[in-house]
Structure 1
Amino acid sequence: MSYQFRIISNKDLNQIVPLVYQLNDSKISEEVLQFRFNEMKHQNYQCAVVSKENELVGVTGLWFCTRHYMGKSVELDHVFIKPEHRGNGLGKQFMAWINNYVKEKGCNSIELNTYVQNNPSHKFYYNEGFEILGYHFLKKI
């Protein structure tokens, strides 16, 4: 059976918490993630998932906005595919599906952040046509 790509309803965001928990190496509790996703579902957020035989194997958040330098844009957030499903072209298929989906929604660009030490993701995104625009800074308050 092949992989399926779809947008899930924001009322079903609790389904993705285990994947995002795995992505974050358990640094953020599932309870905190659940709370945050409950807030996010009321914002300009959608969630795309990859499933195979009714099992969620991949996820990314989609934050929609209009940027002064690019126009209508989407920012990918928490992009994750379970390790056992990597290396077979699934990431490339998922990015192609996302690209088509956000184009249909009128987006001019796709943006994302990736951790500095995540070198495999850098190579993947370069191969997908992404360019480095700048640095992402964070200040906790």
Structure 2
Amino acid sequence: MNYKIRAARKEDCKDIARMIMELAVFEKMPDQVNISVEELERDGFCPNPFFECLIAEMSDEHNSKCLTVVGYALYFFTYSTWKGPTVFLEDLYVMPEFRGNGVGKGLMSKVAKVAKEKRCVRLQLAVLDWNSPARDFYAAKGAQDLTDSEGWHFIRFDGLSLDNLVKEAPKD
């Protein structure tokens, strides 16, 4: 199967939004998605973007100029005070009918390449505990499960808990 990986462009946001919803359905959380195409365009394609994204495209076997977006990897940079620059892979998704052809591996490897070019010392991600195929895929590539080995837990503040935390901030 012929596929190409490239940096996402603003006009890809409709496809990215579609695949975000497909991923959310797969993860049994479609009601959690409330990002719009316009927000993706604004947040990813501004002077200081909040995220970067790679797109996987397949060419139609009958028409090489007809490309179909079949996967994406959305990531952003963060910083470890112990280790230094880090890339966080927020989403890695390939449409089901295109899985098993190396597209996911290609996307993840390309994110790793971008990370190394930016001097990142590690690539981090989160995966649902029940998603054994993904966990096995990452383990086969050498990933460590920090929940098991180091006992780290991801913690989140959102909605009311985030608002309440803001209210406790000292006055300027």
Shorter-chain TM-score bucket reads 0.7 to 0.9
Q: Residues 56-95 of structure 1: matches in 2 within 5 Å?
A: 56-95=69-108
Larger Rg: 2
The one-letter code sitting in structure 2 at the alignment partner of 1:27 is P
**CA distance change for structure 1 residues 10 and 46 in 2, over 3 Å: closer, same or farther?**
farther
State yes or no: 1:22 paired with 2:22.
Answer: yes
Which structure's relative contact order is higher, taking Cα pairs within 8 Å and 6+ residues apart? Answer: 1
Q: TM-score, normalised by structure 2?
A: 0.71
State yes or no: 1:47 paired with 2:53.
Answer: yes
What is residue 169 of structure 2 aligned with on the other side? none
In structure 1, distance between residues paired with 2:70 and 2:98: 7
What is residue 138 of structure 1 aligned with on the other side? 156
In structure 2, distance between residues paired with 1:13 and 1:24: 16
Q: Which runs of 5+ in 2 are unaligned?
A: 60-66, 147-151, 161-172
- The range that moved more, 80-89 or 20-29, is 20-29
In structure 1, distance between residues paired with 2:78 and 2:32: 28
Q: CA deviation at 1:89?
A: 2.6
Q: TM-score, normalised by structure 1?
A: 0.85
State yes or no: 1:13 paired with 2:13.
Answer: yes
**CA distance change for structure 1 residues 28 and 55 in 2, over 3 Å: closer, same or farther?**
farther
Aligned sequence identity (%): 23
**CA distance change for structure 1 residues 29 and 131 in 2, over 3 Å: closer, same or farther?**
closer
Q: Is contact 1:5–1:94 with CA below 8 Å preserved after alignment? A: yes
SS at match of 1:114: coil
Q: Which runs of 5+ in 1 are unaligned?
A: none
Number of aligned residue pairs: give it: 141
